[in-house]
């Protein structure tokens, strides 16, 4: 994708605050359903505030996840995280394992 196209996508309110790798995740699917608590939804959709990449995800992890196990996404959208790589390798080694 061209740099201008990527800028156009990232400038949309709907994707602001998502992780830098979010667009790679939906590549080919073309549809994403994003569910947010009301205050974060208002921040993303109804405010004039700039919402940097990853900030909404980090807030979700802080509220509902385990910050100790959170691995920040790199700004290199083409490189999967270590956790994704580990899961993919495990699935390749054991294709019939449903865990």
- Mean pLDDT over the full length of the chain: 77
**Between residues 77 and 86, the one the model is more confident about:** 86
Residue 64's nearest CA partner among 82, 85, 40 is: 40
Whether pLDDT at 95 is above 70: no
Q: Decide: 53 and 76 in contact? Cβ < 8 Å.
A: no
Task: Give this prediction's pTM.
Answer: 0.57
**Between residues 91 and 66, the one the model is more confident about:** 66
Whether pLDDT at 97 is above 80: no
pLDDT, tens digit, for every residue of 10-48?
A: 888 888 888 887 777 776 656 777 888 899 999 999 999
Buried b (16+ CB within 10 A) or exposed e, 63-92: eeeeeeeeeebeeebeebeeeeeeeeeeee
Query: Rounded to whole angstroms, how far apart are CA atoms 54 and 59?
Result: 9
């Amino acid at each position: 994708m061209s740099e201008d196209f990527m800028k156009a996508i990232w400038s949309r309110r709907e994707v602001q605050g998502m992780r830098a790798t979010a667009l790679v995740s939906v590549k080919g699917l073309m549809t994403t359903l994003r569910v947010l608590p009301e205050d974060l939804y208002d921040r993303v959709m109804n405010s004039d505030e700039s919402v940097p990449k990853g900030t909404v995800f980090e807030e979700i992890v802080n509220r509902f996840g385990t910050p100790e196990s959170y691995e920040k996404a790199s700004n290199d959208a083409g490189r999967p995280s270590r956790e994704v790589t580990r899961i993919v390798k495990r699935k390749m080694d054991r294709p019939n394992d449903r865990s």
